Amino acid sequence: MSAVHRRSLADAAATEALGAALAGGMASGVVHLVGDLGAGKTTLVRGLLRALGHEGAVRSPTYTLVEPYDAGGRRIYHVDLYRLGDPEELAFIGLDDLFAPGVLTLLEWPQRGAGVLPRPDLEVTLEYVGGARRAEVCGITPAGAAAVAKISSCET
Amino acid sequence: MNLILGIETSCDETAAALYCPRDGLLAHAVFSQVAEHAPYGGVVPELASRDHVRKLTPLVRRVAAESGVALSDLDGVGWTRGPGLPGALMVGAAFGRTLAWGLGIPSVGVHHMEAHLLAPMLEPDPPEPPFVALLVSGGHTMLVQVAAFGRYRVLGESVDDAAGEAFDKTARLLGLDYPGGPAVARLAAEGRPSAVTLPRPMTTKPGLDFSFSGLKTAVLHAVQESDGGPGSRADIAHEFQEAVVDTLVIKSRRALDRTGCRRLIVAGGVGANARLRERLTEEAAERGFTVHYPRLELCTDNAAMVAYTGYRRLAAGFRDDMDFSVRPRWQLSELAPPVV
């Protein structure tokens, strides 16, 4: 069994559906979301939060760096490190909270925290090429690999 | 209550200010601007942007020196309690509360957005409430009805990206520098009207909420479909700016109509956009309302507004007890109004 799952994303609804599958596949842990501007990272997070019953707004964390949620009985952090000047700044935004046990952390622009961030369980890469969006979900840890298996099984 | 220190550390900026009810704003300093424009002893400009710990003490000393006062002359301290980053807020909280305790004076934790709403009161000819405030920056896009000091109603806000963030992200898509507002505005001036068409998000629905995420995606599509040359990039910048300005103008007009207010305050960094000001000025003349813009240094994050709001709250009897805390997710609607 390969710990990689690929799927094409026809529209925003498909990106949200992948987010919902992710909600079912991973209860806690760290997910890196890799992809350029407009690739659908925040749309994926919206799908995940909606699947867990969150009905309110899903605001971009670009300015606030961290948007916390309590949904489906879980604490979820949506993090965007794009505006981080230096990985050491992570200490000022409360690194310990973000990677506490039992918490699900979805992290955009992990490259900005290289060397300071812990290893993720799962890495989701979103691409937008030639008018088509596609996703690659890669399990890094055993928990991440198990999540990939679950996510592949709920492809529609 | 003659001399109040204000401290702001809610997100990126470290700032300190001194306010005196009789003489107004005595001094205010924002670390990033001080570091850029006037290096001085004790401050190292290349400190990380959210390293408030090492920046705050020199800044407080600086505003005290500029005002010719000693910290022992203080009568009160206002510090930003929230909303913001927990670790960043804690620095200002610990500093402000400890200083006040050491001096035996009262302090009060201030709501960052209330401070933005009250910033126009620091201007020589302050607009009297009631008014509607449009707060547009990199982190916020909201319309708030200000009935009186302490009485606010959020009429609408962004459900995803802030307007300033849309400018920054559009700048990136067009290959321009961060922060993107001024760069997009400059390029927009070279573009042709209506050469491309972008949506005016949520303007056809009756509400006062904003959404700018879809506009960002529309810009991405327009960039990918264009020939990528300077002319088409300028056309996209032009249409993007028109789309944002149209949206802000339509919603502001609607907020004024709905509340019956005849005064509009525009605060936040996007309030500096020349096209937005031009359109709002036309609109105000046509429809008989007035528009007020606080000076830009009071629109972006600063401690002058925190010192002033701290003064108003202290004067109304609000006090920290020893068990102070920060509130990273503090909503404006949760703010206690003063008891009249």
Encoded tokens for B153: 């109603």
A59-112 pLDDT per residue, tens = 999 888 889 999 999 999 999 998 887 887 787 777 778 899 999 999 999 999
Share of chain B above pLDDT 70, in %: 95
B63 has pLDDT over 90: yes
Q: Positive or negative CA dihedral for B97, B103, B108, B110?
A: negative
Which pLDDT band holds residue B47 (cuts at 50, 70, 90)?
low
Q: Is B44 on the interface with A (CB under 8 A)?
A: no
DSSP code for A87: G
CATH code for residues B129-293: 3.30.420.40
| Coil vs helix vs strand at A70 | strand
Which residue in A60, A63, A89 is closest to B213 by CB distance?
A60
Class of domain B4-118+298-334: alpha beta
| Coil vs helix vs strand at B194 | coil
| Coil vs helix vs strand at B134 | strand
Q: What span, in angstroms and rounded, lies between the C-alpha atoms of A25 and A144?
A: 9
Q: Which residues 240-299 in chain B show a CB within 8 A of chain A? A: none
Residue A65, min C-alpha distance to chain B (Å): 8
B256 has pLDDT over 80: yes
Residue B213, min C-alpha distance to chain A (Å): 9
B91-124 pLDDT per residue, tens = 999 999 999 999 999 999 999 999 999 999 999 8
Output B256 or A92, whichever has higher pLDDT.
B256
Q: Is B165 on the interface with A (CB under 8 A)?
A: yes
Q: What is the pLDDT of residue B40?
A: 40
B129-293: same fold as B4-118+298-334?
yes
| Residues sharing a CB contact under 8 Å with residue B126, sequence separation 6 or more, in sequence order | B120
CA dihedral B36, B39, B43, B47 (to 10 degrees): 30
Encoded tokens for B241: 């700016």
CA dihedral B270, B271, B273, B279 (to 10 degrees): 130
**Could you tell me if residue A47 is left (phi over 0), alpha (psi between -120 and 50 degrees) or otherwise beta?**
alpha
Output B20 or B13, whichever has higher pLDDT.
B20
- Interface touch B217/A91, C-beta < 8 Å: no
Residue B172, min C-alpha distance to chain A (Å): 8
Q: Is B65 on the interface with A (CB under 8 A)?
A: no
Residue A15, min C-alpha distance to chain B (Å): 14
Provide the residue type at B288 as one letter.
Answer: G
| Residues sharing a CB contact under 8 Å with residue B17, sequence separation 6 or more, in sequence order | B5, B6, B8, B25, B26, B27, B28, B29, B63, B302, B303, B304, B306, B307
- Interface touch B85/A65, C-beta < 8 Å: yes
CA dihedral B300, B304, B305, B308 (to 10 degrees): -170
Q: What is the mean pLDDT of residues A4-31?
A: 94
- Interface touch A62/B161, C-beta < 8 Å: yes
Q: What span, in angstroms and rounded, lies between the C-alpha atoms of B37 and B7?
A: 21
Output A139 or B124, whichever has higher pLDDT.
A139
Provide the residue type at B57 as one letter.
Answer: T
Q: Is A53 on the interface with B (CB under 8 A)?
A: no
Class of domain A3-153: alpha beta
Q: What is the pLDDT of residue A156?
A: 55
Which pLDDT band holds residue B41 (cuts at 50, 70, 90)?
very low
Q: How many CB atoms lie within 10 A of CB B204?
A: 8
- Interface touch A37/B162, C-beta < 8 Å: no
B49 has pLDDT over 70: no
- Interface touch A93/B52, C-beta < 8 Å: no
Q: What is the mean pLDDT of residues B22-50?
A: 66
Q: What span, in angstroms and rounded, lies between the C-alpha atoms of B13 and B297?
A: 12
Computed over every residue of chain B, the mean pLDDT equals 91
Q: What is the mean pLDDT of residues A121-132?
A: 89
Encoded tokens for A124: 């989701």
Give domain limits for chain B.
4-118+298-334, 129-293
B136 has pLDDT over 50: yes
Question: With contacts defined as CB-CB under 8 Å, which chain A residues touch B50?
Answer: 89, 92-93
Q: Is B322 on the interface with A (CB under 8 A)?
A: no
Least confident of A88-97, A124-133, B62-71: A88-97
Q: What is the mean pLDDT of residues B211-235?
A: 93
Taking alpha carbons only, the member of A39, A116, A46, A59 closest to residue A84 is A116
Q: What is the pLDDT of residue B204?
A: 86
- In order of A8, A77, B80, B184, the CA distances from A32 in angstroms are 19, 12, 32, 30
